[in-house]
Amino acid sequence: MTKPVPFASRSLALAALVLLLGACAHTGPRNPLATWVPSKNFDERRPVVIVLHYTEQGSVEQSLDTLRSRNSGGRVSSHYLVGKDGKVYQLVSDTKRAWHAGAGSWGAITDVNNASIGIEIDNDGKSPYPDAQVESLIVLLRDLTTRLRIPPAQIIGHSDLAPTRKIDPGPLFPWKRLHEAGFGLWPAADAGEPPAGFDPWLALQAIGYAIDNRGDTVRAFHHRFRGIEGVELDAEDLRILYALTHPAPAANPPPATP
C-alpha cells in the first residue's frame, strides 16, 4: 500500500513548482541562435522595430559585463550582442523590454525601448564590421523579423532615433549590404530627380527622423545613407530623400503569351 504524502511535503513541492514556473515566465522564450547570458535590466514590451548599436568597448566580455550589471552610467541592456566572430549572445528575452535606446523617437514612436528589439554589435566605432559579424547579424534579423512579425524595413540605427546624442552604429556600418539582404531602407538608383518644391525636411520626417535639431539629423542621415560626415543637405541628399519617399513603380510584367 502506498503511503500518503504528508501535507507539508506536498505544500513544499507545490511552492517549488510555482517558483520554477515563475522563473520560466520571467525569462521568457530564448532564441536557439544565441547563447543565453541573462541580464536583469529589462521590463515588459511589444517590439515593432529593431535598433542597431555599436558597443564602443574593448571586448565582448567587457560589453557583456556592462549590459548585465549596474554601472556608472546607469543600468543598460540589449536583447542581443553580436561578436566580431559572429557569435550571438542573448541577454534579454524578445518578449521583455531591454534598456538600450534611451531618449529619442522614430516616427510616432516616442518610447523606443517599449517598441523595439535592441542589438549591440561589438565594434569600436572606428573599424569596419567583419563579414562573419554582418552575416550573423543578417541571420538574426531574418529570424526576428519573421518570428516577431517586425517589418523588415523597420531596422534603424541608434543615431536615427537619437541624432542629438548618438552616432552608432556609425558611418562604417554596411546599411546597403543589409538592404540587399532584405532589411532596412535604401534608395533606389532609378527614382529620378526631385521635382521643384520638394521639401527635404518633410521627407526626413516621413522616414521617421525628428528634425528639432536639423544639423544633427542631417549628420545621422549622412552616416546611414552616404557614410559621410556633414550637417548640411546637398543635391545628392535631396535625390536620396526623394527616392526613399517616392519609390519607383514596379516594372510592368511582360504581356501573357496567347
* Digit-coded pLDDT (tens) for 223-258: 999 999 999 999 999 999 999 998 765 444 445 444
Which pLDDT score, from 0 to 100, does residue 101 have?
94
Residues belonging to the active site: 120
Average pLDDT value for residue range 18-31: 52
Question: Ranked by mean pLDDT, which of 12-16, 109-113, 252-256 comes out on top?
Answer: 109-113
Of 177 and 192, more confident: 177
Which pLDDT score, from 0 to 100, does residue 46 have?
80
Which of 221, 244, 239 lies closest to 153, judged by CA?
A: 244
Lowest mean pLDDT among 14-18, 179-183, 217-221, 248-252: 14-18
d(C-alpha 215, C-alpha 97), whole Å: 31
CATH class entry, domain 29-186: alpha beta
pLDDT tens readout for residues 153-174: 999 999 999 999 999 999 999 9
Grid cell 503569351 — which residue? 257
Beta pairing, strands 80-82 & 155-157:
unpaired
Of 22 and 143, more confident: 143
pLDDT tens readout for residues 51-97: 999 999 999 999 999 999 876 567 799 999 999 999 999 999 999 99
d(C-alpha 222, C-alpha 233), whole Å: 9
Question: At residue 4, does pLDDT exceed 50?
Answer: no
Beta pairing, strands 96-98 & 42-44:
antiparallel
d(C-alpha 167, C-alpha 220), whole Å: 7
Total-model pTM:
0.82
Rounded mean pLDDT of the chain? Answer: 87
Which of 119, 114, 121, 120 lies closest to 96, judged by CA?
A: 114
Sorted by where each begins, the domain ranges of the chain are 29-186, 187-247
Which pLDDT score, from 0 to 100, does residue 71 have?
66
Q: For residue 105, what is the DSSP state?
A: -
For residue 145, what is its C-alpha cell?
523579423
Which pLDDT score, from 0 to 100, does residue 74 have?
72
Q: Considering all CA atoms of the chain, what is the largest pairwise distance in Å, rounded to the nearest integer?
A: 93
